[in-house]
Amino acid sequence: MEKILLTGGAGYLGSVLTSDLLIEGYNVKVVDNFNYNQTSLSGLCHYKNLEIINGDIRDNNLIRKALKDCDIIIPLAALVGAPICKKDPVGAQTINHDAIIMMLKERSNQQPIIMPTTNSAYGSGDDNNYCTEESKLNPISKYAVDKVEVEKKLLDQGNAISFRLATVFGMSPRMRLDLLVNDFTYRAVKDKFIVLFESSFKRNYIHVRDISRVFRHAIKNFGSMNNNIFNVGLSNANISKLELCQMIKKYVPDFVYIDEPIGKDPDQRNYIVSNEKIEKTGFVPQVSIDDGIQELIKGFAMIRNNFHGNV
C-alpha cells in the first residue's frame, strides 16, 4: 500500500483524513507542529501504519527527509482563513507560501501531489457571481492570494491535482468554530441570536468528511484526474448567509437572526460555484448542510468553550 505524506495531519481536515486513510490500509506519515495543543490523533496511535513527526513544514531538512520514502503528498498544513492570516502575516507568508514552494522544489516529479487550495479565490465571480474552474480569479485576502500563486506553481510543475475547496463544515477531532456553518450553528445553540451583515452574500459549502472522501477519490483515480483543478463543494448548497440561518432555525427554533443593513462583512466573498467537473469524475458528496447542522448541534452539547478555532 502507498505511503502518504500528510502535513497538517492533526488539523481540522487532516485528523479526519488521517483516520480514514489508516482504516483503508494506507501507510501515513503525518508532519504537524501541534500548534493548537491538539491531541486529535491520540486515538490512532495503535495503528502500525501511522508515523507521527512533530515538526514544522518550514524546516527544509525535515521536509527533505520526510519526502524521501513517500509515494503521494497531501500538504494540508497551513494558517487557514483570512482572519488568522491578517493576524499573523509573517506566519501566513512563510507557512502558506514559502514552505509550499520549498516543498515543491524538494519533491520528485514522480511523486503525485494533491493540494487543497480555495474557491475564495473567485472573490465575487462574474456578473452573475457564477464560477467554474475557468473563471477569472479575484482573490481578496492574503490567504487567497497565496493559494492562487501556489496553485499556479503546482500546476506548472505537473503531476498534481488542485482542489478548490468550498467553505468546510462539520465536527472533527480538531474542531474549528470559526468556519461559517460551524460558527452560526454554535451561536444559535449557545447565544440564540446573531446579527448578519450583507446577508445576501452567497458561498458554497462542503462537509469535512466529504473532503476526506475527495482526497481518497483522487488517490484512487489520480491517472484520470492528473494535472487538473477541481472545485469541491455541494452543488445544492450555494446559499446565502440568510438562507443558512433559516436552515439552522429549523433545528433551533428559538434562534433569532437580525439582518443589519448598515455594516460590512470583512470577508467579501460572494459567488455561486459549479462543481460539475469533479462530479463528472464520479465523486458525489454524501453529507448535506442539514445533516451537518444536526451533527453540529449534537457535538455542541460537548463543547462549552470557544477556543476551538484558528483565531
Write the burial class of residue 253 (CB in 10 Å: 0-12 exposed, 13-18 middle, 19+ buried): exposed
Centre a 10 Å sphere on the Cβ of residue 190 and count the other Cβ atoms it contains. 12
- pLDDT of 212 reads 98
Alpha-carbon Rg for the chain, nearest whole angstrom, is 19
7-41 pLDDT, tens per residue? 999 999 999 999 999 999 999 999 999 998 999 99
CATH topology of domain 3-169+205-232: Rossmann fold (3.40.50)
- Give the per-residue pLDDT at 19: 98
45-81 in b/e form (b: 16+ CB < 10 A) is eebeebbbbebbbbbeeebeebbeebebbbbbbbbbb
Tell me how far the alpha carbon of residue 124 is from its chain's centroid: 19
Reduced to 3 states (helix: H, G, I; strand: E, B; else coil), residue 227 is coil
pTM, to two decimals: 0.94
List the domain boundaries for the chain.
3-169+205-232
Q: Determine contact, residues 142/92, Cβ cutoff 8 Å.
A: yes
Question: Whole-angstrom Cα distance, residue 181 to residue 244?
Answer: 8
Round to whole Å and give the CA distance between 7 and 168: 18
Residues of the chain with pLDDT under 70: 124-127, 263-268, 305-311
Distance CA 122, CA 274 (A): 12
d(CA 199, CA 216): 35
Distance CA 99, CA 115 (A): 13
**Digit-coded pLDDT (tens) for 109-162:** 999 999 999 998 887 655 678 999 999 988 888 888 999 999 999 999 999 999
